[in-house]
Amino acid sequence: MVSRISTNNRRWLLLQVTLLMLISEVTSSDLPMLNINQTQSSVESPVLDPQPVFPLLAPSPLMPFIPIGVPNLTGKCPLNFSNAERVLTTTAIDCWDSLAPYLANAVCCPQLDATIKILIGQSSVASRTLAISEAHAKDCLSDIAQILEAQGSNSRLLEICSLYPSNLTQATCPMINVTEVENTIDIPKIIESCGKIDPVKECRHKVCESAIMDAAVEIASKNYSMPDMVEGLLSLERLAMIDDCKKIVIRWLASKLDTSDASKVLRGISSCKINKVCPLVFPDVKNVSKECGNTISNQTTCCNAMENYMTQLQDQSFVTNLQAFNCAYSLGSSLQKANVSNNVYNICRVKLKDFSLQDSGCLFPSLPLDVTYDESTGIGFKCDLNDNVAAPWPNSQAYSPAPSSNMSTSNLPALPKAASDHSGKLISSLLRN
Ligand SMILES: *[C@@H]1O[C@H](CO)[C@@H](O)[C@H](O)[C@H]1NC(C)=O
Ligand SMILES: *[C@@H]1O[C@H](CO)[C@@H](O)[C@H](O)[C@H]1NC(C)=O
Ligand SMILES: *[C@@H]1O[C@H](CO)[C@@H](O)[C@H](O)[C@H]1NC(C)=O
Ligand SMILES: *[C@@H]1O[C@H](CO)[C@@H](O)[C@H](O)[C@H]1NC(C)=O
Ligand SMILES: *[C@@H]1O[C@H](CO)[C@@H](O)[C@H](O)[C@H]1NC(C)=O
Ligand SMILES: *[C@@H]1O[C@H](CO)[C@@H](O)[C@H](O)[C@H]1NC(C)=O
Ligand SMILES: *[C@@H]1O[C@H](CO)[C@@H](O)[C@H](O)[C@H]1NC(C)=O
Ligand SMILES: *[C@@H]1O[C@H](CO)[C@@H](O)[C@H](O)[C@H]1NC(C)=O
Ligand SMILES: *[C@@H]1O[C@H](CO)[C@@H](O)[C@H](O)[C@H]1NC(C)=O
Ligand SMILES: *[C@@H]1O[C@H](CO)[C@@H](O)[C@H](O)[C@H]1NC(C)=O
């Protein structure tokens, strides 16, 4: 039997309405271009202008639909935003207003994270330091959020992406001086490994990732006063320090690359991590196991229960094809543990794409993706065309352990080629509905 899984929940309707409103006004608009001409108050200056005048982002007559405002900047952040205008604009669209919560995991937050590293990296060329001081971190975070919001991003972005001032500081890494860092790390190795990456190869072989790791270990080892080993294992403090130093190394790397190349590299590295997990929250499966457990007595009621269950997943988030694969595997394992031994994906025709946001949603490709904005078609993004495949049912015995976290990409379906993507224009597909 066919179980068409769809949802029409209220939140999604709200989103549709928002986007429809956007398109109705979109015709005479232009991409919101960030135009920052900083008259930055000097960081050294102890007396800060309480009302700094930032003639930024004067709304041009060509951008009426975007909630463009003048960002309310603190004037106390030492970052030079004009170095990263394009990346900031990309981020604002990737974190677009009401779409941001649905894009958070796969697109928006990784892009925002990359942007912050690029901003700090680029600013280090002049400041010679790879971290924002604790005194300024809060102001910088606020300024970044303000600049993005002025270009249309969600106003709760920092909350959505769990960003705190500590994400801009050196945290526990003992070294942030560019000169000292460059004297410590193997510069040619990092540039060669990370200057350009193929995200598919990188996720498999981790060449760049391990070059960054090696450099981070070198930097972290500059703090001799910390115990390295506890009973033969690296101490937790040392591990946390290495992790913090990885961020310093990535910021340094970003300072050596053109901003758009840096963005590609950073997103490429983060996509490996993103694709390894399922970002969905699974509700209790007992409603499904009640109808589908042991021997299925009534296929209709079983698939109805399954459909209801899937509906609860489908208003959560866009997921990539590899994430959907992990989600299918996780849910399948939970169901098997709850005595659902029949392949209910097969019986109820659950597809991989059913794990992503529904209706106008689709599965994203596993490669890093940016949301696009086009004057005539509005907000758009690429979808993975191969999303209509059956969700994989774990073929192990019931009661098998949960999917191992060591599942590597090589166990997963082939990554889609860029050529197999099609451009999913969200707004036009909404209009068709
Ligand atoms: C910034 O201002 C300077 C001079 O005031 C001008 O020459 C330059 O074009 C401006 N840059 C941008 C990006 O608007
Ligand atoms: C700008 O931000 C400051 C500090 O958060 C606040 O006191 C002020 O009211 C804001 N100004 C505007 C115009 O929103
Ligand atoms: C910011 O960077 C731009 C381009 O690199 C440079 O022209 C400008 O002087 C810098 N602004 C400040 C305040 O350092
Ligand atoms: C920001 O910091 C918080 C806590 O300090 C941490 O949990 C989170 O992972 C950090 N986010 C990023 C993007 O590094
Ligand atoms: C080195 O580690 C110790 C112990 O965690 C810490 O107290 C100290 O501040 C660190 N030194 C530097 C320079 O980070
Ligand atoms: C970085 O370290 C070098 C050499 O140790 C020193 O001359 C320089 O002043 C330091 N720069 C900063 C910004 O602390
Ligand atoms: C289970 O079914 C009941 C009754 O239909 C419903 O109220 C409840 O929300 C469902 N729970 C889950 C976790 O699906
Ligand atoms: C299955 O359940 C449905 C709805 O409860 C019912 O209409 C149908 O007759 C049942 N089918 C069988 C074969 O029992
Ligand atoms: C699964 O079935 C076994 C044997 O029929 C039973 O003991 C167990 O409680 C069931 N587990 C769940 C989660 O229903
Ligand atoms: C994953 O871990 C399991 C159990 O820890 C192990 O049996 C299996 O060989 C591992 N698989 C891979 C690909 O490393």
pLDDT of residue 5: 30
Instruction: Ligand 8, residue 299: give the atom nearest the CA.
Output: 1
Q: What are 138-174's pLDDT values in tens digits?
A: 999 999 999 999 999 999 999 999 999 999 999 999 9
Distance between CA atoms of 123 and 306, rounded to whole angstroms?
52
Q: Is 282 helix (H, G, I), strand (E, B) or coil?
A: coil
Distance between CA atoms of 344 and 340, rounded to whole angstroms?
8
Distance between CA atoms of 400 and 351, rounded to whole angstroms?
23
Closest ligand (CA of 110): 4
Verify whether ligand 10 is closer than 6 Å to residue 405 (CB atom): no
pLDDT of residue 236: 84
Cα–ligand 1 centroid distance for 360 (angstroms): 41
Per DSSP (E only), the strands in 146-246 are 229-230, 233-234
Cβ 109 vs Cβ 172: under 8 Å? no
pLDDT of residue 23: 34
pLDDT of residue 339: 94
Closest ligand (CA of 57): 1
- Best of 169, 219, 224, 226 for a ligand 5 pocket test (most atoms within 8 Å of beta carbon): 226
Instruction: Ligand 10, residue 411: give the atom nearest the CA.
Output: 13
Closest ligand (CA of 301): 8
Alpha carbon nearest to ligand 3 atom 1, residue:
80
Q: Where are the domains of the chain?
A: 30-59+282-424, 81-274
Verify whether ligand 9 is closer than 6 Å to residue 210 (CB atom): no
Alpha carbon nearest to ligand 1 atom 6, residue:
37
C-alpha dist (Å) from residue 135 to 49, 147, 234: 17, 20, 31
Cα–ligand 1 centroid distance for 290 (angstroms): 67
Instruction: Ligand 4, residue 166: give the atom nearest the CA.
Output: 5
Cβ 95 vs Cβ 103: under 8 Å? yes
pLDDT of residue 359: 67
Cα–ligand 9 centroid distance for 282 (angstroms): 20
Q: Which residues contact 239 (CB under 8 A, 6 or more apart)?
A: none
- Please name which of 277, 252, 272, 280 lies closest in space to residue 404, comparing C-alpha atoms: 277
200: enclosing H helix or E strand: helix 199-205
pLDDT of residue 33: 30
Distance between CA atoms of 138 and 129, rounded to whole angstroms?
17
Task: Please name the residue that has the structure tokens 């101490």.
Answer: 235
Report long-range pairs for 281-287 (Cβ below 8 Å, ≥24 apart): 281/316, 282/313, 282/330, 282/331, 282/334, 283/309, 283/312, 285/309, 285/331, 285/334, 285/335, 285/338, 285/340, 286/338
Alpha carbon nearest to ligand 7 atom 4, residue:
287
pLDDT of residue 396: 58
The binding-site residues of ligand 8, defined as CB within 6 angstroms of any ligand atom, are 298, 300-301
Distance between CA atoms of 407 and 411, rounded to whole angstroms?
7
The distance in angstroms from the start CA to the end CA of the chain is 24
Distance between CA atoms of 256 and 238, rounded to whole angstroms?
27
Regions of the chain with pLDDT less than 70: 1-68, 224-233, 359-360, 385-387, 396-433
